[in-house]
Amino acid sequence: MELKDLYITPFYIILVYAIAYGVRSSVTNIYTKKYFIPALTVKLVGAIVLGILFYTIYGGDTNTYYAHAGVLYKAFGDSFAAGVELVFSNGIPTPSIQKYTDQLSWYGQGSNEYFVIRVAGVFALLTFNTYSAIAVCFAATTFTGMWAMYMTFAKIRPQVYKELATAVFFLPSVFFWGSGLMKDSLCIGALGWLFHAFYRGAIERKDILQSILMGAAAIGVIYAMKIYILLAFLPPALLWVFNESTRDIRSSTVRILVKPLFLSVGAIVAVYAMAQLGAADARFNVDNVAAQSKLTAEYLQGVSKSEQGSGYNIGEQDGTLGGMLKLAPQAIVVSLFRPFLWEARNPTMLLSALESTYFVWLTFKILRRVGIFKTISAIGRIPVLTLCFVFSLIFAISVGVSSGNFGTLVRYKIPLMPFYLAGLYILQSVTVASAAPKAAPRRAAGAGAQLARA
């Protein structure tokens, strides 16, 4: 970081807060309003702290993104047209931008990193290429998607809006790794908008055109960086929509008969979507997923040897889909419940271990209170729980098998963490409410009415 970070960044922080206070009343209600500024604050703190640690001490991808953004910033200074061309480039250099693309190791067709550089380059132009100010812009931009995610969950189950705020905003790993100049922050923000678009357009059936455009934009952002998030999210999301649709059918007999049809259609659409994604990027073709996962895991396990014992081994991969599925139980455990406290080797691993311990404690607490069979029944019966847990398990398997070390895993798994924790809180609320419906507090009912109007 440089001296300009000390006097330029505060201006942008003040600007972000001014905008936040200006729009807060239009995107909150009396119940969610108190979380808006604290949630934004932890995002900003996470972005700045990540920058201080990794830009000045540890190094990593965030430094490379900033260096590449500096190339775009220089291009804008030399020729605004050249800067614009770099931002919207299709990955094939032209003579007018060749001297800049030669300095960009992550430039080219198929580069997942270059999308981050495009965004960082635009923010660099707006912030005089100031690292921490760019990080603040990333945090504020992705916060919009996280707030959309929170409001969607809160509308679905307003009785636990406090707990849902914790699930979405206040998990240390999520606001640390999901806020700064990283792919992870853009992806989780886009995932929040995609979740909101599904709910607004397909479940509430409101602002359908706007929801389609919003969802398409979110898919485009995720597709450009981490396509496997779409592979994990789209099938359970479509299943969620079709399950919600069958609930509108009043006749229980017709609903029972029609539901398999909806599920079949959903499965066909999901398979088609995955096939199209696989065709667009051969690495994520179903036939290649296991082999790619094996290569990634081997690479990251090699890297972990120099990271103070942060590697883990859940079993040998043979590069086949069947071999990958055999490791699914271990992958789920490592993604949701590890590292254990005694596996922590550094401060960031310790934070992750504390979160994992909380996940273990809360999972067993709720399972003990609700019961295994009631839990399975609720997940199959309540569409949003189906979405939360199916997505979480699919995603846990994919990152648990392919990561190979905890340092990488803690970043890769942040998209599943809000959904898994929200699923636990909603499961507990639904089962307790069904057991004692008369005990539901009036305030929760009022919150439901307020959130429904939000």
Residue 359's domain comprises 285-454
Does 330 lie in the same domain as 237?
A: no
Q: Beta-carbon neighbour count of residue 174 at 10 Å?
A: 26
Asked if residue 218 belongs to a domain, the reply is no
| pLDDT tens by residue, 5-55 | 888 999 999 999 999 999 999 999 999 999 999 999 999 999 999 988 887
**Is 10 part of any domain?**
yes
The token pair that represents 47 in the structure block:
């972005």
Establish if 95 belongs to a structural domain.
yes
Bigger pLDDT: 385 vs 279: 385
Please provide the average confidence, as pLDDT, over all residues in the chain.
83
134 within 8 A of 181, measured Cβ to Cβ: yes
Domain's final residue, options 133, 150, 167: 167
178 in a domain, yes or no? Answer: no
Over residues 133-172, the pLDDT tens digits come to 999 999 999 999 999 999 999 999 999 999 999 999 999 9
Q: What is the pLDDT of residue 260?
A: 65
252 and 320 both lie in a single domain = no
Contacts of 337-346 spanning 24+ positions with Cβ under 8 A: 337/363, 338/312, 338/406, 339/312, 339/406, 343/312, 343/406, 345/308, 345/309, 345/310, 346/308, 346/310
Give the closest residue to 292 by CA, choosing from 220, 218, 227: 227
pLDDT at 250: 63
- Specify whether 265 is located in the same domain as 304: no
Final residue belonging to a domain, choices 208, 237, 269: 269
Structure tokens at 233: 């999210």
Chosen domain end from 149, 167, 185? 167
Of 68, 352, 50, 9, nearest in space to 181 by CA:
50
pLDDT tens across 320-345, in order? 666 667 888 888 999 999 888 888 87
Regarding whether 301 and 259 lie in a shared domain, the answer is no
Report which residue type is found at 51.
G
